[in-house]
Amino acid sequence: MKQRPNALTVMTMLLMFASSAAMERAAAAGQTSAGAASGKEVAAGSSATAGAEVKIDNFTFTPETITIPAGTQVTWTNRDDIPHNVVSEDKSIKSKALDTDEKFSFTFTKPGTYSYFCSIHPKMKGKVVVQ
């Protein structure tokens, strides 16, 4: 006798399919939420120069200043117990509020210095120097 999958298994499969389909549609359409002249937000599956990491922990961006070549993807990971976000001074880069262990990535395509902060906790500041 053949067993039927339980409701949890079916729901999990549907969520996985829906997420995968949504990411494929976004990638096919070339959608980004930032659309900034200085770079672009990177969707899953996109190509960018292997990146740099910035950790958000204890109300601090670490490293506070990072120097990268143009075309590099920077990924911020919130390791704090409370939400934080990443917002550039000119607002061209803006993440949603990141809960614990959530990530935000952005590819910097033009040389320059990009100052950013957490708009939830404005004393938190960082800088990306793109060469």
Domain presence at residue 18:
no
Domain presence at residue 7:
no
11 vs 53 pLDDT, higher one: 53
Kindly report which listed range (5-9, 71-75, 83-87) carries the lowest average pLDDT score: 5-9
- pLDDT at residue 9 greater than cutoff 60: no
The boundaries of the domain holding residue 69 are 39-130
Domain presence at residue 5:
no
Note the pLDDT tens digit of each residue in 92-112. 999 999 999 999 999 999 999
Closest CA to 75 of 59, 51, 98, 91: 51
Domain presence at residue 70:
yes
Note the pLDDT tens digit of each residue in 17-28. 444 444 444 344
Q: Round to whole Å and give the CA distance between 131 and 106.
A: 16
Q: Are 113 and 127 in contact (CB under 8 A)?
A: yes
Query: Which pLDDT score, from 0 to 100, does residue 31 have?
Result: 32
Q: Which two tokens mark 79?
A: 């390791």
Query: Which pLDDT score, from 0 to 100, does residue 116 have?
Result: 98
Q: Give the containing element (helix H, strand E) for 3.
A: none
Domain presence at residue 124:
yes
Q: Which two tokens mark 124?
A: 């938190």
Query: Which pLDDT score, from 0 to 100, does residue 49 have?
Result: 60
Q: What is the CATH number of the domain that holds 59?
A: 2.60.40.420
Total number of domains constituting the chain: 1
Note the pLDDT tens digit of each residue in 34-84. 333 344 443 333 344 678 999 999 999 999 999 999 999 999 999 999 999
Query: Which pLDDT score, from 0 to 100, does residue 33 have?
Result: 32
